[in-house]
């Protein structure tokens, strides 16, 4: 896995939800069993003892799973730090869809265009008070049509039954190293931050009191390996992320070396 994400760095507090807007892309995915996504993570617990609980939602390109290369709306959750089989969308008991118009696994088209129109997805997650569920709201293009589309029942969680402890947003890719090198799978738009072509997350909000959302006031950003994919903070409530892939550059370099060797061989025969 490779990540380029932003972390909510507020004082320790109970978290009851978030809201964020992502532009949606159609990144190139090298292997069908790899994926590229942008999402929200709402979490409690730890990897250390497999108690990590997560609520996740965003857009994802995953050819082997969806049988195409379109960006699609997805949800995910775990209660044991991902040790059990993946629980995506409506393919296992858990998330309950209530909308008949915005569908989980629905394709988001057209994707954003380099130098052109940006297609945006707004993700809004909030918890009803007490033993109420975690709701998911979705809106497109400035979030003007934001509406609730479903919920995660509180009963499926152990450490998210009342509130969350941590909050992140950003991009993730899977690298299977199928060809013995780093994948060429793109994250976001395939462009690094610092360019108006890069993927972004904007208007970050957090709820530290039930149903009250405020702009994020403290944000830190980081990437697992910035040689491959990177992240750049614009403000406390926005950042850009993603990139191509050093693996692609290395692969091209190897191809050029082989071409040079073949050319030199022809000169001497």
- Which residue ranges form the domains of the chain, and what is each CATH number? 2-244 (2.60.120.1270)
123 membership: H or E segment, kind and range: strand 120-127
- Residue 10 has a pLDDT of 87
CA dihedral (66, 69, 71, 73) in degrees, to 10, reads: 0
The answer to whether residue 232 is catalytic is: no
pLDDT of amino acid 253: 39
d(CA 241, CA 233): 9
The answer to whether residue 65 scores a pLDDT higher than 70 is yes
Q: Which of 56, 120, 186, 232 is catalytic?
A: 56
- Asked if 56 is an active-site residue, the reply is yes
pTM given for the model: 0.89
Q: Note the helical H segments in 149-268.
A: 246-267
What is the three-class DSSP state of 4?
A: strand
**Average pLDDT rounded to a whole number, residues 148-160:** 97
pLDDT at 230 over 60: yes
User: With bands split at pLDDT 50, 70 and 90, how would you rate the model's confidence at 211?
Assistant: confident
Residues of the chain with pLDDT > 70: what percent? 90
Provide the pLDDT for residue 268: 43
pLDDT digits (tens, 9 = 90+) for 29-38: 999 999 999 9
* pLDDT on residue 130: 87
Indicate the pLDDT class of residue 178, thresholds 50, 70 and 90.
confident
Report the half-sphere exposure of 87 (CA within 13 A, side-chain side).
Answer: 21
* Catalytic residue selected from 30, 34, 172, 232: 172
């Amino acid at each position: 896995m490779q990540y380029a994400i932003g972390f909510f760095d507020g004082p320790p507090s109970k978290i009851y939800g978030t809201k964020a807007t992502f532009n949606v892309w159609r990144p190139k995915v090298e292997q069908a069993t790899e994926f590229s996504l942008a999402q929200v993570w709402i979490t409690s617990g730890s990897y250390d003892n497999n108690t990590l609980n997560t609520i996740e939602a965003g857009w994802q390109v995953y050819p082997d799973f969806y049988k195409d290369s379109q960006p699609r709306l997805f949800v995910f959750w775990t209660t044991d730090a991902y040790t059990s089989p993946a629980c995506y969308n409506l393919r296992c008991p858990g998330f309950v869809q209530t909308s008949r118009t915005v569908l989980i696994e629905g394709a988001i088209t057209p994707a954003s265009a380099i130098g052109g129109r940006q297609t945006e997805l707004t993700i809004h997650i909030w918890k009803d008070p007490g033993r109420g569920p975690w709701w998911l709201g979705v809106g497109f293009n400035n979030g003007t049509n934001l509406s609730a589309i479903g919920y995660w029942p509180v009963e499926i969680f152990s450490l998210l039954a009342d509130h969350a402890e941590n909050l992140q947003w950003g991009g993730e890719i899977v690298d299977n190293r199928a060809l013995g090198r780093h994948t060429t799978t793109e994250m976001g738009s395939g462009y690094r931050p610092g360019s108006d072509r890069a993927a972004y997350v904007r208007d970050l909000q957090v709820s530290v009191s039930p149903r009250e959302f405020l702009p994020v006031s403290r944000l830190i950003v980081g990437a697992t390996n910035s040689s491959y994919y990177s992240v750049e903070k614009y403000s406390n409530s926005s950042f850009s992320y993603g990139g191509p892939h050093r693996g692609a550059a290395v692969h091209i370099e190897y191809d050029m070396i082989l071409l040079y060797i073949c050319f030199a061989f022809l000169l001497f025969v």
